[in-house]
Chains A and B, each alone.
Chain A
């Protein structure tokens, strides 16, 4: 099965880090969005199966992206990857439909277990 992965983060470095952290076995087509509104435009225009979403972004933030997609019934399987690791942030994104929350780690974010749990491997 071919899956399309969308990485949403306003930092180029963060997008690069996430790309590298994606498990090899998930070697699918990966596209990127540098802002919340770019993510919404992409999802409206093309099929996206999995989204890795940053929370703290200027403009539309991750919460607003989740809310808009949920309301439009267009929310892909979403894994939030965030520097904001407060428990309440995790609760909020789950309530908005995200299926998992992964803390950002500058020495290498571990996505393998979350991707396995999501049934993507």
Chain B
């Protein structure tokens, strides 16, 4: 059994960083959608492949279809992020944004890319914030279909074995949407983040 990568103190610190990032993302979404966005407290955990696999268990998502926005990033930390959406909710989200039910697949994907870009950017930038170096982002893309999304999330990559799993619920115009954001970090990046959190907590504890 591997030792937990993050102590509870560090996990709490990381969660607070993500919380602040999500707040900014929520405000950005509210501007785009001209609606009030209610956000839950995002929960953050370090998840290995087995834990990640449970995300795709039957019943974990209301709809058979699954959609994701994936976006790579590099710089002070290197990795790839995946924002997961329920396929059924994607249509509802698109309807809300478009203001009409008949939205083309292309338009839906465009909406997902915008949404993913904002949320992933907010999460990753704030995870990297204590490192005080810039993160660059590659172009986001949409992955559709349960097996494709699952295959991507669980693929055997030499670069990373574990990911940060961020659960966030948001409500838009009295409709709830659930999303999962996975941030895969290289082991070296995870170490750097852990060290930065140690410094952050030490600075907070010092008088």
Contacts and interface: CB of A to CB of B under 8 A. Distances in A.
Given A85-B27, A86-B26, A88-B30, A106 B36 contact: no
B36 A88 contact: yes
A83 B22 contact: yes
Interface stretch (B8-16, B57-65, B75-83, B145-153): B8-16
Contact of A13 (B12, B39, B129): B12
Contacts of B23: 56, 82-85, 103-104
Contacts, number: 62
A20 B36 contact: no
B139 interface: no
B193 interface: no
Interface in B169-187: none
B159 interface: no
B68 to A, nearest CB: 25
Given A11-B12, A86-B30, A104-B20, 4 more contacts: A56-B23, A56-B39, A56-B40, A58-B41
Interface of A: 10-14, 16-17, 20, 56-58, 82-86, 88-89, 103-107
Q: Which 9 pairs show the lowest CB-CB distances between chains A and B?
A: A83-B23, A13-B13, A13-B16, A16-B204, A11-B16, A83-B20, A84-B23, A88-B36, A86-B30
